[in-house]
Amino acid sequence: METGQRPSDGSGDDRPIVGLGLVNKDFVARVPAWERDTKTNASVYFEQVGGPVPVALTALARLGAPGPVVFLGVVGDDRDGDELACALADEGVDAAHLVRVPGASTSKSLVVLDERDGARSVANYAGGLPPLTLSPAHEALLARARLLHLDGRDLPAGLRAAEIVQSNGGLVSLDLGTMRPGREALLARCDIVLASRKGGAGAFPEVADAPAEQVERFLRLGASVAGVTLGAAGSVVGVHEGGPPIHLPAFAPPGPVVDTCGAGDLFHGAFLWAYLSGRDPRAAADFAQAAVALRTTRLGNEAGLPARAEVEAFLASTPVRA
């Protein structure tokens, strides 16, 4: 599949990078231990922008995207919706195309971080929000996009957006966190498919424990680059006609792990940044893994999403593989 859209030096292209998917407000509490049916005091509380695509776009913008970064999604016309739009704009992500639904409540996630290992438990509520419908302005934006990043939600809009972007020479990327009915159609339309462990197993239950085989299958369905992320065990990445997929162990975080929330979302943003900058997909995956290793030692996206120089310095320090 054609991947010639990537400039070799990461510069000189002002076509937008567009993301389409769920955005939610995260309400995050850090507790000494997370047990069912107990009461405990949180040691830290904060709120942040959440959702696979918005976090990936924020990471891309922070790393230094070559052109505008634009988010398409749906929020309510409530205060959380206002705050998300402002927070995205503050991070350099254009939220002017957000659809505000009168009377609807913006999506929310309760996130609990367990102090023992930084593990996150999440309950999301997006009830009452209708799916995104593409407007003529959205379609015009997509026709100029250099890359579209999707999370598989709002499927009809996602499929249509992918079609517009690809027919105008752009790339389409998918964060397959969970496989759901209908997403097969998207798999055949994506240039870059990176699944979570759950997403890979859900797509191919008959090889649920074989991420390398899942990667091969994503490539056979049409992706030019595919991968499965395995949490602290790293990732498996393959390239169309590029030989067997390879396992890249994760990097050991350079300190205690305090927050793994959004690790996968950041992985996508950092991978896409590195890939668009001309790096080989495996080097791009390692760049992403390095970004996540740093992120896990910090609380929250605002303080935690790393800058490019930090990731480069970490990689240059020959970090240990976990």
Ligand X SMILES: Nc1ncnc2c1ncn2[C@@H]1O[C@H](COP(=O)(O)OP(=O)(O)OP(=O)(O)O)[C@@H](O)[C@H]1O
Interaction site with Mg ion (CB under 5 A): 177, 196, 264
Contact string (CB under 6 A) for ligand X, positions 272-311, x = contact? -----------------x--xx--x---------------
DSSP state of 10: S
User: CA 42, 43, 47, 50 torsion: positive or negative?
Assistant: negative
215 part of the interface to ligand X, by CB under 6 A: no
231: contact with ligand X by CB under 6 A: yes
DSSP designation for 178: S
Of 170-199, binders to ligand X (CB under 6 A) are 177, 196-197
From candidates 71, 218, 267, 287, binder to ligand X by CB under 6 A: 267
Number of residues that bind ligand X (CB under 6 A): 24
Q: Which is nearer to Mg ion, 141 or 288 (CB)?
A: 288
For residue 310, the one-letter residue type is E
Range 216-223, long-range pairs (CB < 8 A, 24+ positions)? 216/244, 216/245, 218/187, 218/193, 221/187, 221/188, 221/193, 222/1, 222/187, 222/188, 222/189, 222/190, 223/1, 223/187, 223/190, 223/191, 223/192, 223/193
Binding partner of 262, given ligand X, Mg ion, none, CB within 5-8 angstroms per partner class? ligand X
Q: Which is nearer to ligand X, 160 or 198 (CB)?
A: 198
- Minimum CB separation from ligand X for residue 314, in Å? 12
Please, what is the minimum distance in Å from the beta carbon of residue 162 to ligand X? 20
Binding-site member from 126, 230, 283, 315 for ligand X (CB under 6 A) = 230
Q: Which is nearer to Mg ion, 107 or 166 (CB)?
A: 107
CB-neighbour burial class of residue 231 (10 A; exposed 0-12, middle 13-18, buried 19+): middle
The token duo for 87 is 């927070």
Q: Which residues between 17 and 76 bind ligand X (CB under 6 A)?
A: 52
**How far is it, in rounded angstroms, from Cα 218 to Cα 15?**
27
CA proximity to 171, closest of 16, 8, 12, 14? 16
Which lies closer to Mg ion via its Cβ, residue 71 or residue 104?
71
Q: Is 229 helix (H, G, I), strand (E, B) or coil?
A: strand
User: Given the rule CB under 6 A, which of 3-11, 80-88, 149-157, 230-238 is the region that contacts ligand X?
Assistant: 230-238
Per-residue CA distances from 287 to 81, 237, 268, 269 (Å): 32, 13, 11, 10
> Per CB under 6 A, does 202 bind ligand X?
no
Given the complex with Mg ion, which of 158 and 177 has the nearer CB atom?
177
- The binding site for ligand X (CB under 6 A) comprises 52, 177, 196-197, 229-232, 234-235, 250, 253, 257, 260, 262-265, 267, 289, 292-293, 296, 322
